[in-house]
Amino acid sequence: MNRTCASASERNSSITHDGFVGWADESPGRGTLSLIVTCLFTIFLCTWVVIHPRVGKRPLLRVLHKVALFLKTLIAPESIAVEGLQEWSQARRMVKDCANLTDNGLKLVHAFYIGMLALRYRTPRGARVIWPNQYTWLLQQRLVYWDNHEQWGLSKENIRDKSNADSTAKLLALVQVSWFAAQSIMRHAHKLPLAPLESMILSYIPLFAITYLFWWVKPKDVLSPSVVDLPSMYEKQRVLFESMAVSTIFDDEDTEKQNSFWSVWYLTPRVFEKEAADKALLDTQQKLLEADEKGPIQRVERAPNLNARISSNTSKETVVAHWDPDIYRSKFLWPMSCIFGASFGALYLISWDTRFPTPSESWLWRAAALASIVSMLVFMQFEKVVLRWNGLITVISLVSPLVYLVSRVVMIGGVIAAFRASDPAIYESYVVSTYWIHLG
């Protein structure tokens, strides 16, 4: 077997009574420090390249939002993949809705740019976001025309100039991931085990790849939005336009909520969430109106309380998760989403036979990997999860993500703790020269 290996004494590492080794110095094989640095460099580079943050006005909030995305990606990589999928679905829907209004001029890159809150309009207090549904409505009402999209900062050239995608970083990430995956495959071919940390890094790669695919044409690291003046409207049109806003938290009018540091953790709301909320409001209004239709006298007596009752019945609910119906009901995208959701924990199980310091740690690590798969798949079956009591369904829908987070913490903790007493074989290496083709 073509391996290079240094003894424990040569490595200046301690050997436990079970044959495990602690910290291993660099040697003809590899050491603990180089292994950790390589893994951390790979995950940092890939994560930093793959995340595409939304546009914000304040530099500090922009940086903190990107850091928040970075941390969320490390803890729950499925979340960033889901976010990429839902943004792609929304952009694709906007392109379809605007096709006839723009002579197919509005492309995915434009839809992504608007969806990442990069288009705003001036107000006396600052600037507000123009959401995808609002821009579509402006086109439908003939208040704006696609022929003038360059004046609104929507030309591909302007978007490309604002995007700060680093081709060098992308190339470096591709090379690093390719090398990391290749050397992991070669270790398996030589029957050499991977360190638990290496198994964890490998589990990230497929989710990062699919996320990057969804965001392939999405602008990256846009520092400033395109701010425009809205066209003249009738008062009713203006009221309707403003009522279509998905959220006001991301506007730039210096309100307390908009300046809150908690906003960096918020997911960018989707248009389908606004549509679902509007539909729920209309349904509630209709039901209450039907209940009041018991005669002229009763209607007059109950009218003053109608608005209060509507407000009470449509109080804002806390949404934990909400799937885009176009994805949730798709016969192709939904099964694929479930596969991606289970892939992270499943790839962890490649190292099922990895040696841990104690049998209990080994089985805890395996149980955590299995729990992450099952809990994620269970959680994904709920189209919408809200903090509202609905019996056993509420318990399952809210406990499953908690089980997932606990399992992820256990898995990460196990990976870190494993370095105190590791299988000596993880520091062995194969001879690369064996695979060179010699001609002559």
pLDDT in tens, 126-180: 999 999 999 999 999 999 999 999 999 999 999 999 988 767 777 888 888 889 9
Predicted confidence (pLDDT) per residue in 314-362, tens digit: 455 677 788 888 898 898 889 888 888 888 888 877 778 888 888 888 8
- 248 DSSP β-pair partners: none
Tell me the average pLDDT across 116-125.
Answer: 94
Torsion of CA 389, 391, 395, 396, to 10 degrees: -130
Predicted confidence (pLDDT) per residue in 193-216, tens digit: 888 899 889 888 888 888 888 998
Report the percent of the chain where pLDDT is more than 70.
85
Residues composing the chain: 440
More reliable by pLDDT, 148 or 388: 148
What is the dihedral sign for C-alpha 235, 238, 240, 243?
A: negative
Contact 136, 74 (CB under 8 A): no
Q: CA-CA distance, 239 to 136, in Å (whole number)?
A: 16
Tell me the average pLDDT across 6-16.
Answer: 51
Amino acid 440: pLDDT? 41
Amino acid 7: pLDDT? 47
Predicted confidence (pLDDT) per residue in 278-310, tens digit: 877 777 667 766 666 654 544 444 444 545 544
Tell me the average pLDDT across 240-248.
Answer: 93
Whether the model clears a pTM of 0.85, i.e. scores above it, the answer is: no
Contact 219, 165 (CB under 8 A): yes
Helix (H) or strand (E) holding 13: none
